[in-house]
A and B are shown apart, each in its own frame.
Chain A
Amino acid sequence: SYVLTQPPSMSVAPGKTARITCGGNNIGSKSVHWYQQKPGQAPVLVIYYDTDRPSGIPERFSGSNSGNTATLTISRVEAGDEADYYCQVWDNSSGHQVFGGGTKLTVL
């Protein structure tokens, strides 16, 4: 089965840039989606199909995907961005959605 690997945690100072990676075998050939989840809340889609932002998601959130790594970039990080972030792909060979293990972003 397809595996997505994320760093368990990362920290960033306010106003700086956070780059959260999602590794997978030839992930660049798949479409990657990213979710933000704050404590006690349901996940929220922040990036879909590698680079697109749903309405209401700040432009500070962007995505890229190439080779074996997809990246969620959060520019000018704010305290409100502190959350868990998950990447997700559809594995066509198994008919399964696959999530990464999640990255806990701490804003210092």
Chain B
Amino acid sequence: QVQLVESGGGVVQPGRSLRLSCAASGFTFSRFAMHWVRQAPGKGLEWVAVIAYDGSNKYYADSVKGRFTISRDNSKSTLYLQMNSLRAEDMAVYYCARGGEMATLGGDMDVWGHGTTVTVSS
């Protein structure tokens, strides 16, 4: 079945780095844009970043631009989020989500992972 499984979350000190992964299965990963979306405790959904199906285009929320990097390895059907210079306000559950097919960057996000929790604390 179509599935996304995130990993890599944990407890990290402010200013340190963490890399999240999202393993896809049950669909042709290389045909879809992929997103990261986060949710701080008790708050709403916040979009973080998107990467095109072939990695050619990437966009970031202003809150993470310059600190986070989204990437993908289509040969491994895996999405990544490299998070540097982490701040307290980055603490959240991070979800990966499937976006549009081929050239469509936007649109709906129809498949979501269960999320991985990032805690930023000294």
Contact = CB atoms under 8 A, between A and B. Distances in A.
Given A42-B113, A97-B35, A97-B50, A86 B45 contact: yes
Interface in A72-108: 84, 86, 88, 90, 92, 94-102
Contacts of B62: 1
B44 A95 contact: no
Interface in A23-75: 31, 33, 35, 37, 42-45, 48-49, 54
B44 A86 contact: yes
Nearest to B113: A42
Contacts of A102: 44-45
Contacts of A88: 45, 47, 108-109
Interface string B40-70: 0000111100100000010101100000000
Interface residues of B, number: 23
Interface in B13-28: none
Interface of A: 1, 31, 33, 35, 37, 42-45, 48-49, 54, 84, 86, 88, 90, 92, 94-102
Q: Which 10 A-B pairs have the closest CB atoms?
A: A90-B106, A95-B59, A97-B47, A48-B108, A33-B108, A102-B44, A42-B112, A99-B45, A45-B110, A101-B44
22 contacts: A33-B108, A42-B114, A43-B37, A43-B112, A44-B112, A45-B108, A49-B108, A86-B44, A86-B45, A88-B45, A88-B47, A90-B107, A95-B50, A95-B105, A96-B59, A97-B35, A97-B47, A97-B106, A97-B109, A99-B45, A99-B47, A102-B44
